[in-house]
Each structure stands twice: as structure tokens, then as C-alpha cells.
Amino acid sequence: MRNLFFDPRTKLILMIFTVITATQAPTLEYECLLIALITFFGFLCKKGKNVIWGSAVFAALYLFTVFYLRSHIGSVYTMMTAWLSLIFQMYPCGLLAGIVIKTTKINEFMSAMSRARISKRIVIPFAIMMRYVPVVKEDWNLIKDAMRMRGIEPSFAGMICHPGLTVECIYVPMLMTASKAADELTIASVTRGIENPKHRTCLVELAFGLCDYIALLLFGTLVVGCFFA
């Protein structure tokens, strides 16, 4: 399946195209086209289940807007309009971002970014951030267990009864682990030569293939289309 590997740079450009299309789309129907394209892209990246859910939610929001909101004018309409227009701008980008983050490996991302000549100062924190978000979720589960063992309820009710204690029990372990993890990651990455000023190399060969060009062409057409539609 060598043919269906998308270069990280392609994914980044696709995201920029999606942002432009989502903010400039002339009608909601045009945005449905974008969602359809992203769904297709998700299938190619073998994330079919995620995109089917994603596009189903979008379809529900779309039908709600078309059949309900356009025929009812009132204060509900005003508030929902402000909110939904924000959601409709965000939704396609969020959907694509989810696929991209799930399918891009950190080493591929790093070497693609270094090929694109983006400063290490931006790339390193960004890569660490992507890697650390799931760790926080794991830590949170451990902290909850530890709090229950001490008889402190990690819930909203516990927050009301003992605000000081609950806050301390959440923040202190969370931040202690974070700063220890930062130290360990520093040692690990410095010993593996992250400070090397030379060009980064990667075992995975990164190159634009036919499918990259086709994807860029399809999304690019949508971008151009929204300025002429």
C-alpha cells in the first residue's frame, strides 16, 4: 500500500486549504462538498469509522439549520446563528485535523517540518505537545484513583466541599509529573542528538507521490471554487 501514504507536508497544506474553504465558503451546500471530500480522504487514510461519525454529526447540524432555523425567527434564532456559524467554520477543519493527528507519526512530522525549513523552536514544542496530550489523560485517571484512596472525591461535589484540598490534589501531582516528564524527555532527546545542527534524516522516505498531487488538486479546486461561486 505504498501508494496510499500521504506526505505530512501534503496534510499540512490540505489543512490550510480546508481553513480557507471553510471560512470563505459561499453557501452551506458548498461546505457539504468539503465534508464529503474530507470523508473520502479519511477513508483513504483508513479512518473510516471516525469520519462516518464525524460526517453524520455534520449532516444532523446541517439538516437542523436548513429545515428548522431558516423558518423560525426569534431570539433563539439569533443566538443559534452566532454559535452555528462558528461551528460550521470549525467543523471541517476539526474533522481533518483529527485524521491528520491520528495518522501522522512524530518522526515523519519532524523530518517533514525540517525539510520545509521551519524553525526548530516551533517544531519541537509542537511535537512534544502532540505527544503529551494523551499522557495527561492517563495521568488524570491515575490521580483520580489516588484521590479516591485518600477518601477525596474527584468530582464537582468534592470541589464544593473541600475546594482547597481538591485543587491541591489535582494540580500538584499533575504539574510534578509534567516537570519530571519534561526533564526526562530532555535527557532522552539530547542524548539522541536533537541538538544536532545538521540536516535531519529519516528512515521513511518522504516524497510527494501521485496521490499527494491528486489530493492537493481536489482540495485546491474547492479553494479556487469558493472565490468564483
Interface residues with other proteins (CB under 8 A) are 12, 15-16, 18-19, 22-28, 65, 70, 73, 75, 77-86, 88-94, 97, 120-122, 124-129, 131-133, 136, 167-168, 171-172, 174-176, 178-179, 181-183, 185-186, 189-190, 194-195
Minimum CB separation of residue 50 from other proteins in Å reads 15
| Comparison of 5 and 132: residue with beta carbon closer to other proteins | 132
Minimum CB separation of residue 213 from other proteins in Å reads 21
Instruction: Single out the residue of 88, 69, 68 nearest to residue 22, CA to CA.
Output: 88
* CA pair distance 131, 67, nearest whole angstrom: 42
* CA pair distance 226, 213, nearest whole angstrom: 20
| Comparison of 1 and 51: residue with beta carbon closer to other proteins | 51
Rounded to 10°, the helix 28-44/210-228 angle is 180
Minimum CB separation of residue 56 from other proteins in Å reads 18
Q: How far is CA 193 from CA 87, 100, 107, 190, 200, in A?
A: 42, 27, 13, 5, 10
| Comparison of 5 and 77: residue with beta carbon closer to other proteins | 77
Minimum CB separation of residue 9 from other proteins in Å reads 13
Distance of CA 63 to the CA centre of its chain: 25
| Comparison of 48 and 94: residue with beta carbon closer to other proteins | 94
Cell numbers describing residue 19: 481553513
